[in-house]
Amino acid sequence: MNTNQLKYFISVAESQSFSIAAEENYITQTAMTQQIKALEDDLGCKLINRSTRPITLTAAGNSFLSDAKLILMRLSDARERANEASTGISGTLRIGYIKGYERSKLSESLRDFHRSLPNVLLMCYRDTSDKLAAALQNDEYDIIFTWDSTNLKLNSEYCALEIEKAQLMAALYASHPLCSRKYLERIDLKGEALIYMSPSELSENYGDSIFMDLYHQAGYHPNIICRSTDVESILIMVASEEGISILPDYCVKKITDAEGLIFLPMKGEEEVEEIHAIWKRNNSNIALKHFTDQLSGREIIV
């Protein structure tokens, strides 16, 4: 028994004609008759009463007709589910991103991916870099976009893709004497009250050490009055003239009406924040494979 035989039998039963069924399935009447005979031999009973005009089904044929339709329907459903699983057409992709990165081009990447694979549910979560890394390690996320404060990208169990080098910007209150500058350097910030944006809630982390080195290279230790992982809180404090801050440009470039705030670029090749997409190398989520292909500039094929 095979699916063609089931399909041919249903066609003969519904048309009550071998010749019509043969035409519908683009085979000869002789081939149609042989296939139905082979099906009957396999089942060990007659399905079609050939002595009547038009032909009719035997009692066994009437009973088998509904089963044949059900078998083909289940095979079709199984084939569709297998195809969806293999191409990543359906499923869920859990995405974590660093606080502040919601203003970046991440939403554009997600939109493009959703348009190509609309049946993949994109679940997005916002957190600090240390919590993102811990959640990725615990398989709570499939992929994270992060300022890698844990240096997870060097772990061989993970894949890492640099997404961007975000320009660092100084956030100043409008009455600050440095607002008239076109750009700022680290030395210009000596003695300033600094509201420090950190990617992590941990007081000592890899990400912070990189930027502390920039202050030390400028010849001083920064006057940090507080630390925060929350961009909105930092901007409120700057606007209140409590101090200044340095933020990646994705946090501020979409702010169109920033009363009391001025943003100036930091000068220097090192004045950037690297954002990486990181995921576990052994993650078998097909949707993740398609998503990382898109991030790498490869075409999504479904």
Sorted by where each begins, the domain ranges of the chain are: 3-86, 91-164+275-295, 166-272
pLDDT higher than threshold 90 for residue 162: yes
3-86 and 91-164+275-295 share one fold: no
> Which of 70-84, 166-180, 213-227 shows the lowest per-residue confidence on average (mean pLDDT)?
70-84
Per-residue pLDDT band at 301 (split at 50, 70, 90): very low
Query: pTM of the entire structure?
Result: 0.67
Per-residue pLDDT band at 86 (split at 50, 70, 90): low
Fold (CATH) for 3-86: Arc Repressor Mutant, subunit A (1.10.10)
pLDDT at 111: 93
CATH (residue range 166-272): 3.40.190.10
From the number of C-beta atoms within 10 Å of its C-beta (0-12, 13-18, 19+), residue 271 rates as: buried
pLDDT at 258: 72
* CATH 3.40.190.10 is the classification of domain 91-164+275-295: yes
How many other β-carbons are positioned within 10 Å of the β-carbon of residue 108? 9
Per-residue pLDDT band at 84 (split at 50, 70, 90): low
